Chain A
């Protein structure tokens, strides 16, 4: 009996959302159960998502009309190649949650655990929904779901600064949300539809004009903020650094990518419509991306706090992705899309490993953490692997994306950016080498570091697994590629340099 995977599509969104709602009830008596409950829900969601991806691989993109109401009047869920991101997204959650079970013991009182896991599920469901929806307003709603749950997750860390960081995040995010709402409304007014494919068709009929451009600009800026691109990146460092490490992993790895996926969706609409000359915009993206790369790297190098450094590194890596998108040549966009996934993987590795180290030793700065590799060999090794990956050295996952984006730069006749890309990453390696040196090649200065033991298996397992994946995907980088390629090639014929 073949499972009609199409039917499963809405469940991938509904399950986490419902699970989130049920969490307080489930964990009423024993708060820790919330963690296991969340994990269970996510496992099922992942299973569903994998089925969807298989279906995609076999039969191509498909859609599902909610409530049986066909587009363009009903809400359509659409699973295309960019939606395939849902699978690794859910899978990463599956890996991150076990880490949180023990980790959160020292971050928050047990009573808050149900709230935490509920927010996490909400966040996941929101992101999945964002990726599979074909409706503009839906898109906005899910964006808000993700955003709100993210603010809360940052704040739930509990310390004073957390609230401040969350507030900063909220304010800037609110601006972005308003812009998005405005754009969606504008498009609705112009085209009378909220279905993305339909909007694209109707825009084509309408032809170019100022309102079209304005809507585009609003959407673009809104997603840029979400993606923490220069110059609207200022919310990210504090938020990611202060949040509990699992949350940092989620935020840096996945939430931030919402902006990117959103941009891709916008491209799909506008390139489908063909009403706007996007060349200058793309070029602006290229420049902004390049500046993000350099600036993120530059600031990262000067940090002593590990998590702050990782946060700036995220800004830098988003810069890579944006640069790739802006170059608008096949290889570049492929590389950028693959990097959405690879960076999530690597950043998760790094944040979890950093979290483990902080958890065991109580220290967060490089100078305090000297020699920790002796006491926590596996975690430190994972951190080292993550460091090599994020710089983009072979044979790790980060290399594949860099290769393709750089290739795309040359393909698009923008050679200087190719050079900038390759050498920009090397700059950030300065920090990582200090880190590797400190962990491995120097003697401990604090007793807590020298005597620390490595984290328990529920924390170590995810870390080691993620690190191994970083290595394997360096060699087997073709797998994510094969998914992204068709989508990009579909997108691009209408895309000009």
Chain B
């Protein structure tokens, strides 16, 4: 049931206005924080207000402007888009708190928070895009808006990282654009509202080119190998940027795009006919394993997290490419699971660097004593990635494995098991060092007058995110939790038969 509702377009617009206000009034610390926070909370409020309807199967739409019949800018909040924006808006509020604390004393904060708020607006635009044109519009705008955040430090290293980031993402964007245009040419429409708009009539060659262009285009941001090269390099950005953008916004937008291509542009039936999804699944499997293997070798904390992200994102791609309801559920739910867990980790790493100045795994001996709560949160996130039951990551693992079995592809179960073991291989040493080794030199204690192990604006988001990782793992069934939205998404948005056995 489709309902026209202005909230769908208000969400990006209001955040955009707040961003403009940050730029305008940003010199004042109070106003800067106020508008930044307002942008995030309004987005979250609007999205939450649409949640009850989404659970009932309502889809909110709003056509904004039409260039010519069939091509225009429109918004549509279906269950999958709602899922994504739920996750991103929740995390945005938390990251805003974190960023305010982290960036204290840093330079150019007007620019930072202004573009930060712009990214909020563009991400929700992507999630609510009704057609590929709108999607592409916000997708590329997100690229542009994230650039100043990546090069924030303005060091030669940062500028180089920014160039590489832009090169990858813009070239990817070029492919996506070509793919979108070809889709329009072949299908006559760009809407994402159906389970598939392309049909087999277009010819195998054309469809293959479209598929490749779109997947490459979105795959750059989704970190599918070999298009992943920008991710580890972009870690030079300030940690709030790495956390949000490279755990939530930019990379998830890429994964979101890939799943939209699979389910709403091509559709399950057509892909099964064409057989394109299988090589993609294998590529995703390769990325999962290769990403984790490289992560094993990284001593720099953020790089280890980056390669882990690359690996985890391909869980989503794999789930989507398996084309079964259970796997699709896993793909959707992993958007949330990986986001919360990865953000927790980034927050902790940032807190460690801020508090102690350490950036490498080998320097972390005994830090569990100095920062117990942060490391506890890190442990929770790590256990989630390994897929220990009762943590969020287990749900993904379970459904993805079942989905693979449903698709008669048991070898992917093996891939997942190996991946879990690899995850253990590069997370557990960190935990081990933190708790089971004594520090080489004693850690500096917190400054006098401060009881907490690190600043509360850093610690609170860490704890909330970690708690959420637990919640996602334990209470996934509760209506209103992401899992229920994911189920609606699989049934309605993707057109797959229901998950419940």
Contacts and interface: CB of A to CB of B under 8 A. Distances in A.
A binds B: yes
Interface of A: 334, 388, 393-395, 399-400, 402-403, 406-407, 410-411, 415, 418-419, 422-423, 426, 429, 433, 436-437, 440-443, 474-478, 481, 485
User: How many B residues touch the partner, as a band?
Assistant: 35 or more
A71 to B, nearest CB: 33
B68 interface: yes
B163 interface: yes
Contacts of B64: 475
A441 B151 contact: yes
Contacts of B138: 394-395
Interface in B144-162: 144, 147-148, 151, 154, 158-159, 162
Contacts of B72: 478
A393 B144 contact: yes
A170 B138 CA distance: 45
Contacts of B163: 433, 437
24 contacts: A393-B143, A393-B144, A393-B170, A394-B137, A394-B138, A395-B138, A400-B67, A403-B181, A410-B181, A415-B182, A418-B178, A418-B182, A426-B170, A426-B171, A426-B173, A429-B166, A433-B166, A437-B162, A441-B151, A475-B65, A477-B67, A478-B66, A478-B68, A481-B67
A245 to B, nearest CB: 26
Interface string B196-235: 0000000000000100000000000000000000000000
A422 B162 contact: no
Nearest to A425: B174
A440 B66 contact: no
Contact of B68 (A393, A426, A481): A481
B73 interface: yes
A476 B65 CA distance: 7
Contact of A422 (B67, B133, B141, B178): B178
Contacts of A443: 154
Interface string B448-466: 0000000000000000000
A410 B170 contact: no
B186 to A, nearest CB: 8
B179 to A, nearest CB: 10
Given A403-B181, A481-B67, A481-B68, A422 B174 contact: yes
Contact of B182 (A393, A410, A429, A437): A410
B67 A441 contact: no
Given A395-B138, A478-B67, 13 more contacts: A388-B144, A393-B141, A410-B185, A415-B182, A423-B174, A426-B171, A433-B166, A436-B147, A441-B158, A478-B65, A478-B66, A478-B72, A481-B68
Contacts of B184: 407
B141 A394 contact: yes
A476 B133 CA distance: 13
B187 to A, nearest CB: 12
A395 B137 contact: yes
B485 to A, nearest CB: 28
B68 A437 contact: no
B365 interface: no
A399 B174 CA distance: 11
Contacts of B73: 475
B136 interface: yes
B117 to A, nearest CB: 16
Contacts of B159: 437, 441-442
A415 B162 CA distance: 31
A394 B140 contact: yes
A395 to B, nearest CB: 5
B181 A395 contact: no
A418 B181 contact: yes
A345 to B, nearest CB: 17
Among B67, B133, B148, B209, residue most surrounded by chain A Cβ atoms (within 10 Å): B67
A406 B137 CA distance: 15
A76 B154 CA distance: 61
Contact of A411 (B67, B137, B170, B185): B185
B288 interface: no
B82 interface: no
Nearest to A438: B159
Interface string B122-136: 000000000001001
A388 B107 CA distance: 25
A403 B140 CA distance: 13
A407 B181 contact: yes
A400 B71 CA distance: 11
- Which among A429, A441, A476 has the greatest number of chain B C-beta atoms within 10 A? A441
A406 B148 contact: no
Contacts of B136: 394
Nearest to B185: A410
B351 interface: no
B68 A441 contact: no
A157 to B, nearest CB: 34
| In the complex, the 5 A-B pairs of residues with the closest C-beta atoms, listed nearest first | A394-B137, A410-B185, A478-B67, A422-B174, A441-B154
A426 B174 contact: yes
A420 to B, nearest CB: 10
A440 B159 CA distance: 11
Nearest to B184: A407
Contacts of B386: none
Contacts of A476: 65
Interface in B65-106: 65-68, 72-73
B120 interface: no
A334 B67 CA distance: 12
B178 A419 contact: yes
B31 to A, nearest CB: 17
Contacts of A422: 174, 177-178, 181
Nearest to B68: A481
A388 B143 CA distance: 11
Nearest to B176: A422
Contacts of A415: 182, 209
B68 A399 contact: no
Contacts of A429: 166, 170
Contacts of A393: 140-141, 143-144, 170, 173
A474 B134 CA distance: 11
A93 B101 CA distance: 49
Contacts of B158: 441
A389 to B, nearest CB: 11
A459 to B, nearest CB: 21
Contacts of B151: 437, 441
A189 to B, nearest CB: 42
A442 B163 CA distance: 14
A441 B159 CA distance: 8
B425 to A, nearest CB: 38
Contact of A440 (B143, B148, B166, B177): B148
A478 B170 CA distance: 25
Contacts of B182: 410, 415, 418
A118 to B, nearest CB: 40
B182 to A, nearest CB: 5
A98 B34 CA distance: 38
A428 to B, nearest CB: 11
Contacts of B209: 415
Contacts of A334: 68
B37 to A, nearest CB: 24
Nearest to B141: A395
A430 to B, nearest CB: 8
